[in-house]
Amino acid sequence: MTIEPPRYEWTASTAREALTVLEAAKKLIEAHVMSLEPDRIYPRAELLRMTPVGLHLELDLSAAVQAVNDRQIVNEIQAASDN
């Protein structure tokens, strides 16, 4: 029996969604590796190191950094007006 290799693609637009996607990807990798040793509870570290997996990750934190910068500016303005 031949299994067609699945390909997954996700998009996330919030920090929560991104973390959920990362967790889902981790669980999928673990599940597929577990099929190589179905009698084990968790895959061996050696098996995880040796099993080839392709992953392309692009992470854009520019909006989050901008929010941090904006928040710092607001805090500085508030601090200056308090003086």
pTM of the model: 0.72
Q: Name the DSSP letter for residue 83.
A: -
Is pLDDT at 42 greater than 80 in this prediction?
no
Say how many domains are in the chain: 1
**47: CB partners within 8 A, 6+ apart:** 33, 36, 37
Q: Is 5 inside any structural domain?
A: no
Question: What residues make up the domain containing 20?
Answer: 15-82
Q: Is 56 inside any structural domain?
A: yes
**Residue 18 pLDDT level (bands cut at 50, 70, 90):** very high
Secondary structure, 3-state, 1-57: CCCCCCCCCCCCCCHHHHHHHHHHHHHHHHHHHHCCCCCCCCCCHHHHHHCCCCCCC
Q: Is 61 inside any structural domain?
A: yes
